[in-house]
Structures are given as structure tokens and as C-alpha cells.
Amino acid sequence: MYDSLLSGTSGRTGRIVVANMFGHEFSKIRPRKRTSPPSLKQQLIQLRMKKCAEFMQSFRNYACLYYGKRIGMKSCYNLAMTNLMTNFIIDYVTETITPQYPFISFSKGSLLAVVPLTLTLDTPETLTVTWQDNSAANPERSTDWLQILIAAKDEPLTFFIENAAQRDAATYAANVPVQMQGKELYVWLAFRDTAGELVSNSVYAGSIV
């Protein structure tokens, strides 16, 4: 346990835990160790958390920087995880967890968003994405970099491509990972400016088999 006017209070006394986070001091009681096995509902909630963490693994570093702005104690990571948890729907009757892909997002910001056009699979290994060049010949917008997130049905991990192509290119051919080939693919797109300071909201571009 330590107490400092400069660094704040932090530590543990018995079951009381005191922590200083972002200038806010919190105290709470440590939970007792579980002595009984988790219920089915608790198991499903824990499984959803695991699935969301796996889904975010490929773009976690990006989300920690570019998923909106911190709200109180909620970091960008917390906000991105909340989006996933909200859209991985638990059915307690059938004991299933189903992602609502169109409502999932990986990027949140004020930059001019992507206008998706087409998704095509020229081969099982190559996914071609096209979008509208909506830069209106503005050099600051024409050079924004496309960010691509790809998920596959029944595949726990996603595939994230940073700085794939610039806005005015209007097309990009992505290599599909082996474990995703032959499966239904779900695709999201977003832009980030060349300075790495601004991003757009991600947009669900659709799915393709």
C-alpha cells in the first residue's frame, strides 16, 4: 500500500483494493474465490467474452487508438469490446452465440467514410474490394488509407489489413488467408488519414461466398 499526493493511492488491505486510474481513485472489495462451478448462463457469458477477444485480436492495437474517444473510465478498447459484446448475441435456449455482422464495427471517427461498391472473389485466394473515390479531388482526402477487416463464418480469428490502398485507388485485391478460403466472408472498411490522426467510422461492406 502506498499513498502519495503526486501518484495517488494504490494497493490492498485485506479484501479492500484501492486503485488510482486516470486521476480517479476507486476502492472495491475483492471477490471471494468461486467454490461452485459456473452456471450454464455464466459459461455462455464467459464464452462470449472469449469469442469477442479472439475476434478483436487482429485489430486490437488499431481499436485501442482509433475506436472513438475515451468516455470517463471507458477506453477506446472498452468501447470497441462493448460493440462486439452487444452484437455477439447469446441464445440461452439453444445455447448458441451468433455474431450480428452488419452491426459490428472496428473504427470510429469523424473522417469522411468509405462508400463500398463491390466485393468479388476472382479466386478462392483473392478478394477484390472496390469503393467510390469520394475525395472530390481534395489531396488531403485522396491519400487517406483504406483499412480492411475480414471475418469468415465459423472462423474465430479475423484478418486485418492496415493501409491497404489510398482512397483514390478505388480498388484493392486482398489475399484471403488459407483458413478462410471457401467460407462465407464478411468485410468491413474504414479510412485513416496519412498523419495517422483521424479515422472514419467503419462500414460493413457485405458478405460473399
Q: List, for the chain, all residue ranges whose pLDDT scores fall below the cut of 70.
A: 1-32, 34, 73
Please, what are the domains in the chain? 1-33 (no CATH), 40-208 (2.60.40.10)
Listed in sequence order, the residues at least 6 apart from 127 whose beta carbon sits closer than 8 Å to its beta carbon are 119, 120, 121, 150, 173, 174, 176, 185, 187, 208
pLDDT digits (tens, 9 = 90+) for 13-70: 655 666 555 554 556 666 667 678 889 999 999 999 999 999 999 999 999 999 998 7
The H or E element spanning position 79 is: helix 76-87
The pLDDT assigned to 166 comes to 98
- pLDDT, residue 36, reads 81
Question: What pLDDT is stored for residue 195 in this prediction?
Answer: 96
Question: Residue 97 CA to chain centroid, in angstroms?
Answer: 17
Task: Name residues whose C-beta falls within 8 Å of residue 79's C-beta, 6 or more positions apart in sequence.
Answer: 67, 68, 71, 108
- Give me the pLDDT at residue 5, please: 43
